Structure 1
Amino acid sequence: MDPNAKPSLAGLSPEQVDAEVKAAMGDMDETVLASRIEKSLASFTQGSILEGRILKTLGSDVVVDIGYKSEGFIPLHEFENEEAAAPDRMIEVYLEGADEETGLVMLSKRKADRIRGWERVIETHSVGDVVEGRVIRKIKGGLLVDIGVPVFLPASQVDIRRVPDVGDYLGRNIRAEIIKIDRERRNIVLSRRQLLEREREEQKKKLFTTLERGQIRRGIVKNITDFGAFVDLGGVDGLLHVTDMSWGRVTDPRQVVHVDQVVDVMVLDFDLERERISLGLKQLTPNPWADIRRRYPIGSRIKGVVVNLVPYGAFVKLEEGVEGLVHVSEMSWTKQVAHPSEVVQPSQEVEVVVLEIDEERQEISLGMKQLEEDPWNKVEASYPSGIRIKGKVKNLTNYGAFVEIEEGIEGLLHVSDISWTKKITHPSSVFQKGDPIEAVVLSVDRERKRIALGMKQLDEDPWLTSIPRRFRVGSLVKGKVTKLTSFGAFVELEEGLEGLLHISEMSDDKVEKADDVVKAGQEVEVRVINVDPVDRKIGLSMRASAAEEYPEQPAHYAAETRGGTTLKSALSSALREAAIRRDVPSPSQAAPAQDAEPETQPAPPPPADAQEAAADETEPPKQESEPEPQA
């Protein structure tokens, strides 16, 4: 029998058991024993932290001996790895609870570690301390950062500027400042923004003491807008404007830089009081405008690509950082280009001519029509004065019609040159747009790109030939009264030809009002008393005594004198008409027919009878002059 073996209590009577217990306790007092038992039971209350020894791994649990009547179980996933759950290893555990019926004891290593971690953090840190940790989770209102224990970083305290998505910080190691500690609730709040602001203020003071214009500085792109990018130089953000990103065209700054990109920039200017810094990126590369005249001499033909269209022209890229403008007026010699899209499209390769260079403003004027010869250089030779042409009515205005002679070449047919005899107030009463017509070239002004046309010149001037012959002074003719005025009546002798029956020529007696003698629409017989081919007027009379005063002239006299006017006078009339037409507008300056004629163009002279009508409200015209005596 083993002398060290402990005695078994099996089969003993109660009296024998008491004797064995007393022998085991020796001299220990019963009150001391009760106190020890009470302390032992207190250490196994729920929520307490105990020390235990790992026995083994059983399935998905780790069995731990904590000195209780039964072993405890910890989920295996609470251990970092298998080595951490090795048998005989001593660990601290958190008592979740015990089931008295089954004897199952549930433990947690993770909670025990967390509680101990909180205790260590609280003991070693205070408000204002800077800590470093890893962002482990995004939660409502901010982030959780592991600094040994999970602590809260509000979204508003993540950065100096508002962060669109704080989830972008997941997995990143950050530094932050403790701004709140709640010991009872075991809660710590961090602020990364507060730390950054303090550090930036220190960096800013240092930066401004060393900042100089023209310096090359390295920074980080922090924000991008439509007008540029903000670059952190270390304490201060500088603006890299979109116009300083590249010598070429930049429509979106994101095409050049991106957030968090490290860039080298040049300090262009800064304001210490306003704490503003202007930065440049293109200044780190050579300026393509430095020797622009050598590479693009005036008059040279070059190729480029259309990069932008605006209402007044097209921008053509000649090389990176160099663009020129082709104005709409430089796109065609003959066409009226309303918008550049009628000629070119974006991305189209075009050939242009260099017209002008402004190095200071970095502007180049380009032309496309200069690639071809100006057709107006040949107009004088192709259309000399007096030549007959055929064309098509392209546009109507209050003062005439524009006629296309050939593609891009138009001439003006003034209302005064449409008919010798008809009173035409608007060209639309004669023809419409698109009508084919025949006309005579009256004059060509190559410098002003103007051609004057005439239709009436296709025929001989009847005022110099047929009218004086057919309406000889003294002859009786019939006509219809077309209009009554205060000074007389207008009588239509034939289509388009009227004469004036003055109130003083209506009767040998005094006539107060014209409608006392004649009415509008009345057929009358009148005597021709004057034919003036210069002013294109015919004087008429109904007086009985006029037969004696104005005897009928022989036909040969009328032909020689042109109705009482010499050929020299007739020539003077023709020259005066030419002077009236000397300043016709060019097709490109003409406006479509409106209620009023363009201010820059002279209005056509009113017909003679219209001038007389205008005198209706002023004073009656003078008595027609006496005819010359017969030969």
Structure 2
Amino acid sequence: MNDNFENLFENSEYSKTIKKGQLIEASVIEITDDHAVLNAGLKSESFVGLNQFKNPGGEIEIEVGDSVKVVIEEIENGDGTTRLSRQKAKNETTWSNIIRAMNEDEIIEGHIQTRVKGGFTVLIDQINAFLPGSLVDVRPVRDTQYLEGTVSEFKIIKAERKTNNIVVSRKGALQGDSLENKSEIISKLTEGQIIEGIVKNLTDYGAFIDLGGLDGLLHITDIAWKKIKHPSEILSMADKVKVKIISIDREKFRVSLGLKQLDEDPWKKIISNYEIGNKIDCMISNITDYGLFVEIEEGIEGLVHVSEINWTNSNPNPYKIANIGDQVTVMILDIDNEKRRVSLGIKQCKDNPWDSFANNNNIGDKITGKIKSITDFGIFVELDGEIDGLIHISDISWNNEDNIDLSQYKKSDEIESSILAIEAKRQRISLGIKQLNKDVFMEFNQSNSKGSIVKGIISEVDEKNALVLIENEIKGILNISEVSRDKVEDMRTVFKQNDEIEAKIIGSDKKNRTLKLSIKAKEEKEEREAIDSYKADEKESISKTSLGELLKSKFKKD
């Protein structure tokens, strides 16, 4: 097989769908002394032991060109081939036939082998089944040796694939469950009739009940009013049970049965005895990932969804907080008559800690709590009632949040904060640390508006800027362009650390909490004020001189 074919195969849709354990068709292309060579459309041919193609008599039952079903055991093992199994394919087919025969009440052929305790082993296409001695014939037979090694017809009584447990009945086949017999039986049945039968088989979806030559299906949902996972919780093989006929399909000889219909519908008690808002004591009957099931009445369960268990945790793990059999108090939140569902809550039976906090505290109050966790965006504080409040990073300090060092706070430390907002419905409480103190920067801004003259000390200086400390941690920035009307090349040639300066406030950077300062603007202001003062003085002097001259002139005339 060339590389191009292998590449085509690997890229084909078929190669993507095949998997271990899959049942596929293969063609017999060669038969050797020991093997049959099969082509299943894979990358290479497969060799299957010839003994897998022999019938019970030891004869080879295939020829070149035949199409056979096989199961993929391994895809490309160590030597690069795909291992196939004819025997497993036979078993799959046989099991399918057995299950179908059981469900559709069909006859199946088998080979009676040796006698064992309680009955015989029967070979059905190389799969062993058990024939109980009581089901060998329609009447008791003392000598059964003549049956050994013979082929006979059987009814499948029980078939469990997981345990490889198959029970057959030769008696059932001999009784001749013919169409005439079934027609006679079904003609005597009516809907609503209560009849006795024997549990013949249990499956995941229900139980088959022998009604005396005709099987009826008791679906799992019609066994009990309460929810069950498997019929075996209520029924056992060979149990005698009374059932009610729900429906009859006379053409297909199908009878649907009900066991729970023999008892009163417990849902009627829910409608008459319970209302939304009622608190009731119940027992936990089942636990799932999405909540707790509790038994309200026999046969009626309600669901406590995970979101209704705890006020402070919207998604708890039900398996960690409860056990089946625990007694709990629940509140009825909703009753859906159409869907026959009851929604319950556990947390509603307790005070809502968010409402309690809102009732007992006011915005602006100071509170103390333990640090529960620290994140990049803030600090969570544990409050009374097992609820949390958040101190956002922007509410830790009046300084820029980029400069806040969260490492100074430790988990479990006591911390004081101020309540900024309470949103009980959204289950949110906002807290702040900086609000415990006044904002000195804003206070300074209010008392020293734009245009004010302030004094400060140079804290840091570089080529273009100087950082000025004014008072109470108030900082200002003096840019090189605001030093003088004369050009300055380097701030360090004019100022050094600890120099005292006087400057005019020309702006405020609230984000970085700094003032913009200007010595140049201060000097320009002082010059304008000096000029204005000079002009005013000169005008007053001129006014006085003119008045004196007028008086002198008048006196001369007189």
Q: TM-score range by the shorter chain?
A: 0.5 to 0.7
Return the match for 2:394 from 386, 391, 416: 416
Give the whole-Å Cα distance in 2 for the aligned partners of 1:295 and 1:481.
83
> What is the identity, as a one-letter code, of the residue corresponding to 1:532?
S
CA contact (8 A) 2:306 2:316 kept: yes
Alignment-derived partner of residue 95 in structure 1: none
Deviation of 1:387 after TM superposition, in Å, equals 1.5
CA contact (8 A) 2:379 2:390 kept: yes
Q: Deviations over 1:424-481 (max 9, x none)?
A: 4778345233221101112323333332211111111112335777996453442337
Alignment-derived partner of residue 165 in structure 1: 130
Give the whole-Å Cα distance in 1 for the aligned partners of 2:405 and 2:277.
43
Give the whole-Å Cα distance in 2 for the aligned partners of 1:337 and 1:169.
57
Secondary structure at the counterpart of residue 347 of structure 1: coil
Give the whole-Å Cα distance in 1 for the aligned partners of 2:517 and 2:509.
18
> What is the identity, as a one-letter code, of the residue corresponding to 2:514?
I
Q: Deviations over 1:539-589 (max 9, x none)?
A: 4357x634413669xxxxxxxxxxxxxxxxxxxxxxxxxxxxxxxxxxxxx
Q: Deviations over 1:210-245 (max 9, x none)?
A: 665444343322211233222233454333232321
Return the match for 2:200 from 211, 215, 222: 222
Deviation of 1:389 after TM superposition, in Å, equals 0.8
Give the whole-Å Cα distance in 2 for the aligned partners of 1:499 and 1:334.
46
**Are 2:140 and 1:155 equivalent residues in the alignment?**
no
Alignment-derived partner of residue 293 in structure 2: 315
Alignment-derived partner of residue 410 in structure 2: 432
Alignment-derived partner of residue 141 in structure 1: 113
| Change in CA separation of 1:528 and 1:308 when aligned onto 2, cut-off 3 Å | farther
Please give the residue correspondences for 1:427-466 in structure 2 after superposition, counting only pairs within 5 Å.
Answer: 428-466=406-444
**Are 2:506 and 1:530 equivalent residues in the alignment?**
yes
| Change in CA separation of 1:246 and 1:171 when aligned onto 2, cut-off 3 Å | closer
Secondary structure at the counterpart of residue 315 of structure 1: strand
Give the whole-Å Cα distance in 1 for the aligned partners of 2:130 and 2:280.
50
Return the match for 1:549 from 509, 524, 527: 524
Give the whole-Å Cα distance in 2 for the aligned partners of 1:163 and 1:257.
26
Alignment-derived partner of residue 242 in structure 2: 264
> What is the identity, as a one-letter code, of the residue corresponding to 1:279?
L
> What is the identity, as a one-letter code, of the residue corresponding to 2:340?
Q
CA contact (8 A) 2:223 2:260 kept: yes
**Are 2:455 and 1:475 equivalent residues in the alignment?**
yes
Give the whole-Å Cα distance in 1 for the aligned partners of 2:435 and 2:242.
77
Give the whole-Å Cα distance in 2 for the aligned partners of 1:548 and 1:538.
21
Length-normalised TM-score, structure 2: 0.57
| Change in CA separation of 1:549 and 1:327 when aligned onto 2, cut-off 3 Å | farther
Alignment-derived partner of residue 178 in structure 2: 201
CA contact (8 A) 1:153 1:189 kept: no
Deviation of 1:388 after TM superposition, in Å, equals 1.1
Length-normalised TM-score, structure 1: 0.51
Alignment-derived partner of residue 26 in structure 1: none
Q: Deviations over 1:190-229 (max 9, x none)?
A: 5455774472232334455566544434332221123322
Alignment-derived partner of residue 65 in structure 1: none
CA contact (8 A) 1:216 1:267 kept: yes
**Are 2:364 and 1:399 equivalent residues in the alignment?**
no
Give the whole-Å Cα distance in 2 for the aligned partners of 1:448 and 1:219.
58
Give the whole-Å Cα distance in 2 for the aligned partners of 1:297 and 1:423.
53
> What is the identity, as a one-letter code, of the residue corresponding to 1:538?
T
Backbone CA RMSD of aligned residues? 4.6
Q: Could you tell which deviates more after superposition, 188-197 or 400-409?
A: 188-197
CA contact (8 A) 2:224 2:260 kept: yes
Aligned length: 388
Give the whole-Å Cα distance in 1 for the aligned partners of 2:378 and 2:356.
25
CA contact (8 A) 1:143 1:155 kept: no
Alignment-derived partner of residue 382 in structure 1: 360
Give the whole-Å Cα distance in 2 for the aligned partners of 1:346 and 1:187.
53
CA contact (8 A) 1:249 1:321 kept: yes
Q: Deviations over 1:65-88 (max 9, x none)?
A: xxxxxxxxxxxxxxxxxxxxxxxx
| Change in CA separation of 1:236 and 1:517 when aligned onto 2, cut-off 3 Å | farther
> What is the identity, as a one-letter code, of the residue corresponding to 2:432?
G
Q: Deviations over 1:159-206 (max 9, x none)?
A: xxx88433x3269754599xxxx9xxx997654557744722323344
**Structure with the greater alpha carbon radius of gyration:** 1
Deviation of 1:288 after TM superposition, in Å, equals 0.1
> What is the identity, as a one-letter code, of the residue corresponding to 1:455?
I
CA contact (8 A) 1:415 1:427 kept: no
Secondary structure at the counterpart of residue 350 of structure 1: strand
Give the whole-Å Cα distance in 2 for the aligned partners of 1:401 and 1:196.
76
> What is the identity, as a one-letter code, of the residue corresponding to 1:433?
K
| Change in CA separation of 1:171 and 1:377 when aligned onto 2, cut-off 3 Å | closer
> What is the identity, as a one-letter code, of the residue corresponding to 1:405?
L
CA contact (8 A) 1:176 1:190 kept: no
Secondary structure at the counterpart of residue 178 of structure 2: helix
| Change in CA separation of 1:405 and 1:530 when aligned onto 2, cut-off 3 Å | farther
| Change in CA separation of 1:227 and 1:497 when aligned onto 2, cut-off 3 Å | farther
Alignment-derived partner of residue 299 in structure 1: 277
CA contact (8 A) 2:208 2:216 kept: yes
Q: Deviations over 1:250-302 (max 9, x none)?
A: 23322311112222223334556766544321111111002313222222222
Higher RCO, Cα 8 Å, sep 6+: 1
CA contact (8 A) 2:459 2:466 kept: no
| Change in CA separation of 1:490 and 1:476 when aligned onto 2, cut-off 3 Å | closer
Give the whole-Å Cα distance in 1 for the aligned partners of 2:483 and 2:251.
96
Give the whole-Å Cα distance in 2 for the aligned partners of 1:316 and 1:187.
56
Give the whole-Å Cα distance in 1 for the aligned partners of 2:445 and 2:476.
12
Percent identity of equivalent pairs: 34
Give the whole-Å Cα distance in 1 for the aligned partners of 2:425 and 2:485.
59
